[in-house]
Amino acid sequence: MEHFPKAPIQEALLDIQVVLPVEFAVSSLKSFGKGIEDRFPESQEYIQYVQNVQIVPTVDSKPAPPSQIIDGYVFVSKTNGKVTQARRAGFTFHKLKPYSRWEDFSSEAKELWQRYVDLVHPVSVKRLGLRYINRVELPSDIRDLREICTLFPDVPNGVPQTWMEYFQRFVSPREDGAIAAVSLALDNQPPPGKPSVILDIDVGYHLPIEKIDNTVFWTRFDALRAWKNEIFDASVTQKAKELFR
């Protein structure tokens, strides 16, 4: 696929969901940040909220307030637009705009993932996923969004053909077990004077993997990235691509 110098990527995420040993202590995830402070100088707890439910309520019982559980840690570089998460449920690497190339993004993700593996020793992997969130700014001369997007909601005849908002989503499986979730929506918080649409492409393998084999993982990530590119290429028009060149 063509490399677009002005690709509309706002955020790229690489996510690996895992099963950890039963005896693993979440507090040890804090040490994930040791040695990468120069790249990720800020850190914070990753909080999970759990709603407590009373199975047999009494007449005067009140809903129990949600409890907070530390599920991991988040490490941030605001300067470079990077975030990495080390959680009980898995590992995530984010790259915010500007995004350069897959080779740069995946190379750093590999290094951070190996750091996570060496620290937690996962029992198995449940999902490999890539998500790319694109903000496509609309030129001032655009009168019909079909000039930009091929993925588009059809409005019945007789209904006004203008929108204040819309959201369209589809989920598509592939024979090899990969699944794509694709959505298109008007951006409800666009930059001033720049109406935009959000094209969100999330692709992943949901097959359980018992053996931690990085060669297999990154081959699958390359396949996911290729599929993501195919979906993006098919979802925007040639006129849109001219904006990204």
| pLDDT score, position 62 | 67
Q: What is the pTM of this model?
A: 0.89
Q: Which helix (H) or strand (E) holds 66?
A: none
Give, in degrees to the nearest 5, the angle at Cα 182 between 180 and 186: 170
| C-alpha–C-alpha distance, residues 93 and 111, integer Å | 11
For 19-60, how does the pLDDT look when each residue is reduced to its tens digit (9 = 90+)? Answer: 999 999 999 999 999 999 999 999 999 988 766 565 666 666
Give the chain's residues under pLDDT 70: 50-66, 161, 163
| C-alpha–C-alpha distance, residues 126 and 108, integer Å | 21
**End-to-end CA distance of the chain, in Å?**
13
| pLDDT score, position 67 | 73
Residues 6+ apart with CB under 8 A from 102: 225
Tokens coding 224:
């996911």
CATH topology of domain 9-18+81-244: TATA-Binding Protein (3.30.310)
Domain locations along the chain: 9-18+81-244
Strands of the chain (E only): list them.
9-19, 42-50, 67-77, 82-87, 90-96, 124-137, 167-173, 178-186, 196-205
CB of 87 within 8 A of CB of 44?
no
CB of 33 within 8 A of CB of 108?
no
